[in-house]
Amino acid sequence: MPQPPSRRTFLRHSLLGLGVASAASLTLKADAQPTESSGGLGSYGDYLTNQGESIDTPPAAVESNPKWTATEPNILGPFHRERAPYRGKITPPLEPGTVLLIAGTLWGLNTRKPLPAVTLDIWQANAKGRYDNDDPRNPPAPDVFLNRARVLTDEQGRYEYETIYPGAYQTGPNVWRPPHIHYLLRAQGYQSLITQLYFKGDPHQTKDPFIKNSLIIQLESHQRDQTTYQSGTFDIILAPA
C-alpha cells in the first residue's frame, strides 16, 4: 500500500503551486518607500501613555496611499524573546489551528533589489491568543520557544514559513488585539524594522489602536488531499540606515 506524502512534501508542493517568480523577474517599483518600524518594547499601556492616547481610543483613520511605500512599523509588544531557533515552521508539531503559509520578498529601498541572507524574527500567539511567555508565574524554559522562530531570506530575498492562524486576545476593557504576526528585522546597512502582519476581514481591527492598513493582507484558502490551509504574501521594504 503506497505511503501518504510527508508533511514537508505536501507543503513544498503547495508552495510551488502558488507560482513563485524567479529572481531575474523581480524588480522593485520606482515609487516604493521603506517599511516603517513599530516602536519600543513595553506593555501596551506604557506605549499608549507615551503616545498620549487612552487604551480605549479608537484608531485614527489611515489615509490610503495608491503608491507602494516602505513597510510601516508597528509596536514590538511585551512578548518578544531573543535567540529563537532557525526553522521554517513557527509552531510546534501538531499545534491546533488552521494551517497558514506565509511567503514574501525582502527589498532594499535604495537598491530596489531583493536582500538575501537576512534574518527575520517571527513570533505570534497560538489559536487561543496566548503567547508562550505571557504568564509570569509559568515562564517557558530558556531553550523552549513556542510559536516563534527565526527565518532566513534566500539568495533571491525570499522567505516563507508555515504556522497557524493566530487568535485574538484582550489588552484592556473592551479592547482586543486582532490576530497578527510579529516581525523584527535587522539587516546590515538598513534601519531595523519592527512591524506586524494582519489579516483582512477580522472584526477586531475596527477598534484596535495599533492597526495600520498597509500591514493587512488578503489570505487565500486552498484544499489539497482533503487538507484545508490558507496562504498569503507579505513583502517587506527596508529603509537604508
Name the residues annotated as catalytic. 131, 169, 177, 180, 182
Give the C-alpha separation, 181 to 196, whole Å.
5
DSSP annotation of 89: B
Cell readout for 41 is: 518594547
Angle at CA of residue 11, ends 6 and 17, nearest 5°: 130
Say if strands 216-217 and 220-224 run parallel, antiparallel, or are unpaired. unpaired
Q: Compute the radius of gyration of the chain from its Cα atoms.
A: 18
Q: Map grid coordinates 488552521 to a residue.
A: 98
Contacts for 7 with CB less than 8 Å, ≥ 6 apart: none
Beta bridge partners of 177: 169
Residue 132 CA to residue 22 CA, distance in Å, equals 37
